[in-house]
Amino acid sequence: MNRSTVWHPFTQHATEPAPPTIVRTEGAYVETRDGKRILDAISSWWVVTHGHRHPKIIEAIRNATETLDQVIFAGLSHEPAEQLASALVDMALPGLDWVFYSDSGSTSVEVALKMALGFHRNNGAPRSRIVVMEHSYHGDTIGTMSVGARGVFNAAYEPLLFEVDTIPFPASGWEQKTLDAFERLARDRQVAALIVEPLVLGAGGMLMYPAWILAELKRIAERTETLFIADEVMTGWGRTGTIFACEQAAVAPDILCTSKGLTGGSLPLAATLATEAIFRAHYSSDRARTFFHSSSYTANPIACAAARANVGIWNDEPVVERIAALSRMQAEKVARFSRDPHFENVRTSGTIAALDLRVGNAGYLAEVGPKLRAFFLERGLLVRPLGNVIYVLPPYCVTSDELDRLYDAIDEAAGLAGNKR
């Protein structure tokens, strides 16, 4: 076989081996060319919810291809997009009445930022400042890198990024510091929007904070007429225990971003949901107030059909019960590490569990990171630690026995940090 010319994401090809080729996916597993079945413990980068190739989603995709492929969405519409939008409005928190489609989590956040700036400008009181949370990650496009934490992910692109205001992460015991910082920044009513990952900061290290913080941030935003953007790209579709994480704080954001689990993990699709007020700010006989954003594959009909089938699964199958059961299993199984001196900061949020392996050089570039990936892969487990942070974020069909095998491997992995068992 000729040398691959594929450039893989977040991969240092100079130091990492050629990746296995996957030829089949099913349930909680991916299968390699040589027949090795690998437990997908991270839902293929957090996108697969019910399991790989759920029959109802695959059938919906197959049926959609019988009549549709891509259709330009500027000036035309189609039933899969219309039906999905209606379903999303019904499922979302009250007040999110408009759905704008794009094709990835990053683009859904770009859309949200542009909506926020357009809202203030079109209402005659332009604002351009964005407030973000320390350690946050919102994507890899220029706008989303700008509102994410500055560091190794985006250091090379710093000249392209715009400045933002940052509030500290609400670490346990220091929550008021976060709220006070936002209060100070928003007080002069010049902040266009606050953007947060509700309850869990994903790529920033699976950092978790309580729902009441989210509610307080929203309260401050409302009082200062600052738009509240919830980036639920990762936290949505049940990951934290509810369809959207904001539900746990009884918070309805002004703008909500969703992707990843939107199609159950089958096809790329994203949506940015907004309030009537934000839509109305762009609704005018003055064409200069049009919301100027699109991508070539906006509202792809086949992807929309897959997402509509995903919504149907939520309505017709006991998904909530599966999520509750998985959340209980995660909390019970990860608890074994709470008093293990080789690990620290053992935590869960719904179906997500995480713990930090104690090492000398912690962080995303911790030397133990690639060793851990190889260790797990050798044992038939797809785990992609964030440096020394090991997390388990499986599809909802995973079994208790499969989780036991995974946590046994995590226990064994402590030795990679030089820790004797």
SS3 assignment, position 222: helix
Which letter, b or e, does each residue of 144-167 get, where b requires 16 or more Cβ atoms within 10 Å of its Cβ? Answer: bbbbbbeeebbeeeeeebeeebbb
pLDDT value of position 415: 87
CATH 3.90.1150.10 fits 318-417, yes or no: yes
Contacts of 118 (CB under 8 A, 6+ apart): 281, 282, 289, 291
Pairing between β-strand 29-32 and β-strand 352-357 as defined by DSSP bridges: unpaired
pLDDT value of position 3: 85
pLDDT value of position 41: 98
Among all chains, which residue has been given the structure tokens 């059961």?
Answer: 325
pLDDT value of position 351: 98
Q: What is the mean pLDDT of each run of 10 residues along the chain (421 residues)?
A: 88 94 98 97 98 98 98 98 98 97 98 98 96 97 97 94 98 97 97 98 97 98 98 98 98 97 98 98 97 96 98 98 98 97 97 97 93 97 97 98 98 81 52
pLDDT value of position 51: 98
Taking each helix axis as running N to C, give the angle between helix 400-413 and helix 319-334, from 0 to 180 degrees, rounded to the nearest 10.
30
pLDDT value of position 32: 98
pLDDT value of position 421: 52
pLDDT value of position 1: 56
Q: Where are the domains of the chain?
A: 57-316, 318-417
CATH architecture, range 57-316: 3-Layer(aba) Sandwich (3.40)
